[in-house]
Structure 1
Amino acid sequence: MPAPTLSSKLPDVGTSIFSVMTQLAQEAGAINLAQGFPDYDPPRPLLEALARHVLTPGHQQYAPMPGLPRLREAIAAKTARLYGHLPDAATDITVTSGATEALYAVLAAVVHPGDEVLILEPAYDLYGPAVRLQGGVPVYVPLSLPDFRPDWDRVAAALTPRTRLLMINSPHNPTGAVLTDDDLDTLAALLRDTDTLLLSDEVYEHMVFDGVPHRSVTAHPELRERAFVLSSFGKTYHATGWKVGYCLAPPALSAELRRVHQFVTFSVSTPTQHALADVLPLTGLYDELHAFYQQKRDLFRELLAGTGLRLLQVAGGYFQVADFSTLAPELTDEQFARRLTQETGVAVVPLSAFYHHRHDDKLVRFCFAKQEETLRAAARRLRAER
């Protein structure tokens, strides 16, 4: 009997470039600066809190679907402290299985077949496929090189009555660009007379450098009324494997998000939520992150001097984009990334992976969320390549 015929919903999508480059790094024994995860542990108070709650009777069963009340209250207090807006812990905050689940649940909740979703690219590779899985139509608007700023005239031209959602990401992955107050004001004016919703991916919110504060949509009264704002405890506490994030949204939007969330993961690890609720009031753990990562950024940029790579500016996040065109003008970015991994022993991600049509500007992305000795070892190999 023949096997059933399967028609793929994403026939053109293969394994994520991050998984591909990580596997290649493992096979080659390369230093992995491709995938965006730290090689150091979460803060000690958080680890101790998790150990405590793992052993606490009653903390091993399902948490409430939207998240533990005490954690949502702590998130509300943190939001008010940072952005001057106190969300309702009961109606406006949903704890999710990482920001990835939150993003997918938002799209599943609000995007109907045929709806258009504006994506500013380069963009995290989840965005487009997740829109398509809902039957939505991704509409890509390129960011302007070399600083990857939004071209708001092009965004305005892309808006139509079919535009259901616009997705923004600041600090930006993969480029580290950040939005300004003027950007948010311009965006508010563009959306003012539309029914377009906004998804603001702010998982790197605590990693903005050079004395510039993070400009959150949460702090913008007009935008937050139509916005889903995503954040990530995994990024904030160096615990990407814990997969805990949250979504801030007005009550009506949160209600739609929760309709989906309850059927995707239902709830997130109970002892982990208790541990996060314990440490979230320890404001120093996130207040100091900008300085922590700026030091890593500055060190890494200093170490890469003399490698022949041209380093683009990094205003936030924990990624460094570099132009390799003078080193290997004959190679595509994917070829160069593979050569660096297999021959030099340093794994990176080609920036074309962040474009739906694999646009190639001869740029690659390094992750500098690594211990100093890891960064120094990678730089030694890159200088030897030179």
Structure 2
Amino acid sequence: MQSLRRLVLSTASIGRSPTRLSRSKTLPNPHSQALRLFSASAMVKDPFKPAARVAGQRQDVWSIVNEAAQASPVQPIVNMGQGFFGYNPPEFVLDAAREAIGKVECNQYSPTKGRPRLKKAIANAYSPYFGRTLDPDTEVTITTGANEGMLSAFMGFLEQGDEVIVFEPFFDQYISNIEMPGGKVVYVPLHPPKDGATKTTSAGEWSLDLKEFENAITERTRMVVINSPHNPIGKVFTKEELQSIGDICVKHNIIILSDEVYDRLYYVPFTRMATLSPEIARLTLTVGSAGKNFYATGWRVGYLIGPEHLIKYVSAAHTRICYSSVSPLQEATAVAFEQADAHNFWEDSKKEMKAKVDLFNQVWDELGLPYSEPEGGYFVLVNLAKVQLPEDYDFPPHVASRPRDFKLSWFCIKELGVAAIPPTEFFTDANAHIVEDWLRFAVCKDDAVLEQAKQRLRGLKKYIK
């Protein structure tokens, strides 16, 4: 106890002058001082401990595939993994960007809700589809990419414990975007064609069980996310399917976040959710992407369209997340929308992308491997159940512990030099078995790259049984 008393007295003396200490009428109680020291020590937290929302996450698919591609002995890698374009936007879009960079006002902050010219251009471009004139000031907001736009929508409406229904497979960013503001994800699966593993089928044959969907709705359900054209399936939901989903949402008063970022790339009739009825439109936020539309994913220019009573809260959240989006690229995107029809851009881009899909899929027809024929977008799901991987192949632990599609992806990267994405990343663990024999390929590449990919993928022939 004498040692403890000396320690406490010594500690109490630090920083005090001897004169001041000597004039003190009462020395501090050594027992209470020691308890305070020990208590403060116990309360100190590790400053480097991550928040629960990011702690314990397993390595994401993007880093696994990219790191494997960099280390592959087969170089250069043909990257058909991430959905970025292998070519530039058209020249009229690039010219608009070059001109915008030279304008003083385009190099400063834009209004938080977006540059007026871009909002007007988007309102003009979409009004014909909505069957009425959209108000650019109250029904359109610009975001830093479609992904940040969706995050803003969730941030604008979700409270702790609110539920959001997501159809799986899903774009993986949905999940973290919902959970960040405290939302809970409720998964409802899309069901694959029964014979999709044995023969080529249409992506449209993936189906939603409406009873499963409605049974997933609870008193905490606040929103539902639908993606059409769909990533990764390539399904374009029919008008009848969307009407049924929309009617259920109206019945339960649920906000619909309609992810339509591939809305200019459809090869079958395409319906926009918000155009089905005034009741459905009242609940619908439509998500768009200039990056997807104009081959410029790195520009990070997205937008949301919706009624004022919804869009104003998305705008408010967006302002707090990143304040405003990149000014010169907003201006260039406005010009792109204004001039697209004059260049016949929309029809040309659709025809060109469908041609790329058909060109690439020739190799699967050659190899006798079934695939899901996309109805929209630029992703192809291919079934590789017939491919037998060598039993003694040395997969690293972080791949060996994942479903078979991760091993297929790793094998194609290392042995063939072709990168593709394992789609179980877009499923919950419980339903990952649905696509563990599939890989997702992005065909938004130059034709020469697609031909090179086909040539390398023919190397699978010796592994097909």
Name the TM-score class by shorter chain: over 0.9
Cα offset for 1:151?
1.7
Tell me, yes or no, if structure 1 residue 173 matches structure 2 residue 231.
yes
Cα offset for 1:236?
0.6
- Which residue of structure 1 lines up, in the alignment, with residue 374 of structure 2? 314
Write the mapping of 1:296-307 to structure 2, written as runs, cut at 5 A. 296-307=356-367
On the 8 A contact 1:177/1:316 being kept in 2, the answer is yes
Distance 1:376 1:304 in 2: 13
Secondary structure at the aligned position of 2:233 is classed as: coil
On the 8 A contact 1:77/1:86 being kept in 2, the answer is yes
Q: What percent of counterpart residues are identical?
A: 30
| Match for residue 455 of structure 2 among 380, 383, 386 | 380
| Match for residue 363 of structure 1 among 430, 435, 438 | 438
- Which residue of structure 2 lines up, in the alignment, with residue 223 of structure 1? 280
Larger displacement relative to structure 2 (232-241 or 277-286): 277-286
- Which residue of structure 1 lines up, in the alignment, with residue 64 of structure 2? 20
| Match for residue 128 of structure 1 among 159, 175, 189 | 175
On the 8 A contact 2:86/2:445 being kept in 1, the answer is yes
Write the mapping of 1:93-104 to structure 2, written as runs, cut at 5 A. 93-104=140-151
Distance 1:72 1:285 in 2: 20
Seen in structure 2, the aligned counterparts of structure 1 residues 287 and 223 have a Cα distance that, compared at 3 Å, is: farther
Distance 1:316 1:237 in 2: 16
| Match for residue 423 of structure 2 among 342, 351, 354 | 351
Secondary structure at the aligned position of 1:304 is classed as: helix
Seen in structure 2, the aligned counterparts of structure 1 residues 26 and 81 have a Cα distance that, compared at 3 Å, is: farther
- Which residue of structure 1 lines up, in the alignment, with residue 409 of structure 2? 337
Cα offset for 1:176?
0.1
Cα offset for 1:2?
8.1
Which deviations, in whole Å up to 9, do the C-alpha atoms of 1:274-305 show, x marking residues without a partner?
Answer: 11111212222223222111111111111332
Q: Which runs of 5+ in 2 are unaligned?
A: 1-43, 194-204, 392-402
On the 8 A contact 1:98/1:243 being kept in 2, the answer is yes
| Match for residue 271 of structure 1 among 317, 328, 331 | 328
- Which residue of structure 1 lines up, in the alignment, with residue 319 of structure 2? 262
- Which residue of structure 2 lines up, in the alignment, with residue 88 of structure 1? 135
Distance 2:181 2:365 in 1: 45
- Larger relative helix fraction: 2
Q: Normalising by structure 1, what TM-score?
A: 0.95
Letter in 2 for 1:287: E
Distance 2:407 2:447 in 1: 27
Cα offset for 1:16?
3.2
Distance 1:308 1:287 in 2: 32
Cα offset for 1:356?
2.4
Write the mapping of 1:37-76 to structure 2, written as runs, cut at 5 A. 37-76=84-123
Which deviations, in whole Å up to 9, do the C-alpha atoms of 1:320-352 show, x marking residues without a partner?
Answer: 000000113788111111101111111111110
On the 8 A contact 2:250/2:283 being kept in 1, the answer is no
Letter in 2 for 1:292: E
Seen in structure 2, the aligned counterparts of structure 1 residues 178 and 126 have a Cα distance that, compared at 3 Å, is: same
| Match for residue 214 of structure 1 among 270, 274, 284 | 270
- Which residue of structure 2 lines up, in the alignment, with residue 108 of structure 1? 155
Distance 2:251 2:382 in 1: 39
Q: Normalising by structure 2, what TM-score?
A: 0.79
Secondary structure at the aligned position of 2:107 is classed as: coil
Letter in 1 for 2:269: P
The structure with the larger Rg is 2
Larger displacement relative to structure 2 (324-333 or 138-147): 324-333
Distance 2:191 2:276 in 1: 24
Distance 2:59 2:327 in 1: 31
On the 8 A contact 1:307/1:382 being kept in 2, the answer is no
- Which residue of structure 1 lines up, in the alignment, with residue 240 of structure 2? 182
Cα offset for 1:162?
1.2
Q: Which runs of 5+ in 1 are unaligned?
A: none
Larger displacement relative to structure 2 (9-18 or 67-76): 9-18
- Which residue of structure 2 lines up, in the alignment, with residue 290 of structure 1? 350
Secondary structure at the aligned position of 2:208 is classed as: coil
Distance 2:415 2:64 in 1: 16
Seen in structure 2, the aligned counterparts of structure 1 residues 313 and 97 have a Cα distance that, compared at 3 Å, is: same
Seen in structure 2, the aligned counterparts of structure 1 residues 347 and 166 have a Cα distance that, compared at 3 Å, is: same
Secondary structure at the aligned position of 2:156 is classed as: helix
| Matched pairs, number | 384
Cα offset for 1:383?
0.4
Distance 1:77 1:218 in 2: 16
Seen in structure 2, the aligned counterparts of structure 1 residues 191 and 82 have a Cα distance that, compared at 3 Å, is: closer
Tell me, yes or no, if structure 1 residue 145 matches structure 2 residue 220.
no
